[in-house]
Structure 1
Amino acid sequence: MIDINLLRKQLPEVVARLKTRNFEFPEKEFLALENERKEIQSKTEELQAVRNSLSRQIGQAKKSGESAEDLMKEAAALPEKLADLEKQLGEIRNKLNNLLQRVPNLPNPECPIGRDDRANVEQWRWGTPRQFDFPVKDHVDVAAPLGMDFDTAAKLSGSRFCFMKGEIAHLHRALAQFMLDLHTRKHGYTECYTPYIVNASTMYGTGQLPKFAEDLYSARIGGYEEEGEHELQYLIPTAEVPLTNTVSGKMLKESDLPIKITAQTPCFRSEAGSYGRDTRGMIRQHQFEKVEMVRIVPETDSYAHLKEMVKNAEEVLQLLELPYRVIMLSTGDMGFSAAQTFDIEVWVPAQNTYREISSCSNCEDFQARRMGTRYKGKDGKTHYVHTLNGSGVAVGRCLVAVIENYQNADGSVTIPKVLRPYMGGLEKIEPPAKKA
C-alpha cells in the first residue's frame, strides 16, 4: 500500500507516476473523501475544545460554589456527538483504505516508461544458444516417451496440468533440490517449509487481494453442515505469500535484518485472462513448482539486495549452462506490488526465443505497510521494512529449458553435469525402446 501522506502532499506527482503504470488514480473520489475527513476531524477538534472548556468552567463553578447544572447538561451531550463523529471518521477511513487497496506500487524512477512488455529494456545476455544439426523438437515431443504425460493429467484434473513418472519426474525433483542447495549453502538463505493454503489476510499482505481474487484458487475450510463461520482460504500462487507474511505485524530490530528465506512449493494459478496462450506443454500451468527467494531488509540498501537476488537466480542457469537474458520491466509490465522488477528469460530452442523463468522484484515498503511490519533503526526511529521476492527459479520452465537445450537426435536428453549427483550419476535419460 502506498503512503497516504504522499497522496496528501504530492498528489499531482503521484497521479502522474501511477499513469505510467496504466492506472488512473480516482483523484476526485480521493479528494472528496479527504475533504470529508478534514471536515469531520475539524468538528471533532471543535467539540473536544468545547468539552475541555466546559470541564474547566465546571471545575471553577464548583470551586466558587456556583451552580454548574447547565454546564454539566451541556457537557453530558458531548460524548454522544463525539462518538457519532468518530463513527463517521471510521467509515471515511475505511473508504480511503478500500481505495488504497486497489492502487499499485509507485514505480522506481529508473524503470523504463511504457504501456506493456514492448517497452522492457534488455540489460545483458549470458551464454550462446546451441546450434543443432537435427530438427529441434519441443519439450512435449521430446519428453512424452520419457514419462511426461499430459493426457493422464487432463483425465485427472483437466487442461494445463502435467503428470510425470520415471526419470523425467526424477529430473524435475533434482532441479528443485539443486536450486535449494545452491541458495541455502552458497547464497545464505534459510530453507523453509510453508503451508500451501493461507487465509485472506495473508493474501492481502502481499497484494494478491483484493485485486487478483479471480486469479486465485479458493476453498472453504470445514463442512457446510457444521456450526460457525467458514473462512475462505486460498491455495498459494507462489511461496512469496507465506514467506513474506512470516513477519506480518512484527516490530523487528535492525539487527534482525536482513532476513533471507527460501522454499520450494507448488504454485496454483487460475491463469484468468490467459486462455489461448501457451496451451501446449508446461510453459503456463495451473499447478507448477517454484523455488522462491524472499528478503526482508532495511530501507537503506534494498536495491543492493535486489541486484544480489538477480545474481542468485542467474547462477542457477549458469551452472546448468542454459543461455539467458536479463531485462528490466517497464512501468506498464510490472506486477502490482513491485517498484522495480528484473526478469530473467531462458532460451527455449523450439520457440526460438527467450521465455521468462525468474522475476525478481523490490516492493520497497508497499507490502510492509499492508502487513504492518516495521523495524527499530539504529537511529532510534521506527521504519517500515523493504521486502523483495524472486524466483530461484521456476522448476517446470527450467525442466522445459533443460529438455529442449539438452535434447539429442536419438530422442535422449543429456543430464547437465551439475545435476548428475542428484540423478544417481545418470548421464542421459533415454526412451524405453532405446534402453531395450
Structure 2
Amino acid sequence: MLDIKMIRTDGEKVKERIRKREMNLDSIVDEILDIDKKRRELTGEVESKKAEQNADSKKIPQLKKAGEDTAPLMERMKALSAEIKEGDAKLAELEEKQKDLLLSLPNLPDEDVCAGGKEQNQPIRYFKEQPKFDYEPKNHVELCEGLGMIDYQRGAKIAGAGSWLYRGWGSRLEWALLNFFVNEHIKDGYEFILPPHMLGYECGYVAGQFPKFGDEVYWIENPTSSDRKFMLPTAETALVNIHRDEILSEEDLPRKYIAYTPCYRREAGSYRAEERGMIRGHQFNKVEMVQYTTEDQSDAAFEELVGKAERLVQELGLHYRLSKLAAGDCSFSMARTYDIEVWIPSMGIYKEVSSASNARDYQARRGNVKYRGADKKLHLAHTLNASGLATSRVIPAIVEQYQNDDGSVTVPEVLRPYLGIDRIEKQR
C-alpha cells in the first residue's frame, strides 16, 4: 500500500510513476486526495465537538453545586453526542473508501525503472554462449519421455492439463535440485522454513495479491464451517507474513529466510506451443528467498538476492541472461524486478527461472511490519524476494542444454554427488 502522506505531498509525481506501468489511475489518485481532504476536515470538526463535549461535562457538577439549571447544557450535550456519532460514522465510511482506493494502486516503480511493458525490458548480461549441436537436438518433452523421467499423459489423466508425474531419474533430478538449492542457501546464512500451504486471506492481502488478484489462486472452503483458505501461489506469500504486526529490532535486520514449497497457480494450463511440457503448470516446486531489511539495507539486499539466484544457474552451467524489467512488467507489489532467464534451445527463447524483486515498504505497510531504529523511532521494514530457484523450467533447460546425440543427458557436475551418476540414460 502506498503512503497517503506521499500522495498528499506530491500527487502528480505519484500519477506520473504509475503511468510508467502503462496504467492511468489519475482519477483514482484524485479521488483519494478528495476523500483525504474531506476526512481531515471532518476529523477536525468531530474532534472539536468532542473537546466541547468534554468541557461541558466538566461544567455540569459545577452548575449543580451552584444550584443552577443544567437542562440546557444537558440538551446541548445530547445534541453534540448525536452529531459526534454521525461524524464518526461518516469518518469510518470515508476511511474505508480511502483504504479500498489505496489498495487499488500498485507500488511505484523505482526512478531508474524504464516505462512501458515487457518489450522495454533490458538485458543486463549473459552467462556462457548458447549451446550449439552438430546433430538435430530434441526438445525437453521428447527427452524426458524417452528417458522415463516425466510422464505427461498419466499426469494429465489424474490431475488434468498442466500437470505431470516425475518418475525415476526425473524424480531424483528434481529432488537433487531442491536439495542443492536449499543447501546453498543455508551455507549463506538463510533460515530454512517449511510453511503451511493453505493460508488465510490476510497473507494474500499483505503480499499484495488480494483483493485485486483473488481469482488467480485456488480457494479451499470447509463445508462444515466458515473457514476459507487459499493454496499459496509462492512461498513469498507466507514468508512476508512471518513478522506481520510485529516490531523488530534494527540490530536483528536483515532477516533472511528460504522456504521450499510446491506453488499452486490457476493461471496455468496454456496450450501454446512455447509452454508445452513443464514450462507452465498448475503446480510446480520452488525454493524462495525473502529478506526483511531496513531502508538503508534494501538496495544491497536486492543485489545479494540477484547474485545468489545467478550463482545457482551458473553452478548448473546453464546459459542464461539477466534482464531488468520495465515498470509495466513488474508485478503489482514490486518497485523493481530482475529476471534470470534460461535458454530453452528447442523454443529459441529465454524463460524465467527466478524473479528478484524489491517491494520497498509496500508490503510492510499492509502487514504493519516495523522496526525500532537507532533513533528509537518506529520505521516500516522493507521486504524483498527472489526465486532460488523454480525447478519446472530448470529441468527443461538442463535436459536440452546437456543433451547428447544418443538421447542421453549429461548431469551437471554440481548435481552428481546428489544423483551418484554423471549421465541419465534410457533404462533397458
Answer yes or no: same fold by TM over 0.5. yes
Inter-CA distance 313–272: structure 2 relative to 1 (3 Å threshold): closer
Give, in whole Å, the separation in 2 of the partners of 1:188 and 1:34: 44
Give, in whole Å, the separation in 2 of the partners of 1:419 and 1:180: 13
Deviation at 1:35, TM superposition (A): 3.7
> Counterparts in 2 of 1:30-429, with a 5 A limit?
30-55=32-57, 57-58=59-60, 60-62=62-64, 64-114=66-116, 116-147=117-148, 148-185=150-187, 187-220=188-221, 222=222, 224=223, 226=224, 229-271=225-267, 276=272, 278-423=274-419, 425-429=420-424
Give, in whole Å, the separation in 1 of the partners of 2:269 and 2:284: 18
Of residues 44-53 and 91-100 in structure 1, the stretch that sits farther from structure 2 once superposed is 44-53
Give, in whole Å, the separation in 2 of the partners of 1:65 and 1:230: 59
Inter-CA distance 59–24: structure 2 relative to 1 (3 Å threshold): farther
Give, in whole Å, the separation in 2 of the partners of 1:274 and 1:157: 15
AA aligned to 1:205 is V
Stretches of structure 1 that go unaligned for 5 or more consecutive residues are: none
Give, in whole Å, the separation in 2 of the partners of 1:101 and 1:324: 36
Cα root mean square deviation, aligned:
1.7
- CA offset digits 1:329-354 (Å, max 9, x no partner): 10111001101111111121112232
Of residues 47-56 and 133-142 in structure 1, the stretch that sits farther from structure 2 once superposed is 47-56
Of residues 170-179 and 71-80 in structure 1, the stretch that sits farther from structure 2 once superposed is 71-80
Instruction: Name the structure 2 match of 1:23.
Output: 23
Of residues 324-333 and 20-29 in structure 1, the stretch that sits farther from structure 2 once superposed is 20-29
- Other structure's SS at 2:45 match: helix
Deviation at 1:84, TM superposition (A): 2.1
AA aligned to 1:98 is D
Deviation at 1:416, TM superposition (A): 0.6
- CA offset digits 1:55-91 (Å, max 9, x no partner): 4544553464433331122123322321221121111
Of residues 67-76 and 335-344 in structure 1, the stretch that sits farther from structure 2 once superposed is 67-76
Give, in whole Å, the separation in 1 of the partners of 2:130 and 2:258: 30
CA contact (8 A) 2:372 2:378 kept: yes
TM-score by length of 1: 0.94
- CA offset digits 1:216-249 (Å, max 9, x no partner): 11110x3x2x3xx423211111000111111111
- CA offset digits 1:129-178 (Å, max 9, x no partner): 22211111110011102221111111111111111110111101101110
Inter-CA distance 274–79: structure 2 relative to 1 (3 Å threshold): farther
AA aligned to 1:430 is E
Indicate the percent of aligned positions where both proteins have the same amino acid.
39
- CA offset digits 1:68-119 (Å, max 9, x no partner): 33112212332232122112111111111111112110110011111x1111
Give, in whole Å, the separation in 2 of the partners of 1:201 and 1:251: 18
- Other structure's SS at 1:332 match: helix
- Other structure's SS at 1:132 match: coil
Check if 1:8 corresponds to 2:8: yes
- CA offset digits 1:399-430 (Å, max 9, x no partner): 1111111111101011111001110x211111
Give, in whole Å, the separation in 1 of the partners of 2:258 and 2:33: 42
AA aligned to 2:421 is L
Give, in whole Å, the separation in 2 of the partners of 1:278 and 1:82: 62
Give, in whole Å, the separation in 1 of the partners of 2:40 and 2:181: 53
- CA offset digits 1:352-375 (Å, max 9, x no partner): 232111100010000001111101
- Other structure's SS at 1:291 match: strand
Give, in whole Å, the separation in 2 of the partners of 1:23 and 1:139: 37
AA aligned to 1:199 is G
- Other structure's SS at 2:242 match: helix
Deviation at 1:48, TM superposition (A): 2.3
Instruction: Name the structure 2 match of 1:430.
Output: 425
Inter-CA distance 217–340: structure 2 relative to 1 (3 Å threshold): same
Of residues 105-114 and 23-32 in structure 1, the stretch that sits farther from structure 2 once superposed is 23-32
Give, in whole Å, the separation in 1 of the partners of 2:60 and 2:325: 66
CA contact (8 A) 2:161 2:269 kept: no
Give, in whole Å, the separation in 2 of the partners of 1:251 and 1:277: 49
Give, in whole Å, the separation in 2 of the partners of 1:51 and 1:352: 74
- Other structure's SS at 1:2 match: coil
The total of aligned residue pairs comes to: 425
Give, in whole Å, the separation in 2 of the partners of 1:239 and 1:56: 56
Deviation at 1:208, TM superposition (A): 1.0
AA aligned to 2:204 is M
Inter-CA distance 261–312: structure 2 relative to 1 (3 Å threshold): same
Give, in whole Å, the separation in 1 of the partners of 2:391 and 2:249: 34
Give, in whole Å, the separation in 2 of the partners of 1:370 and 1:171: 39
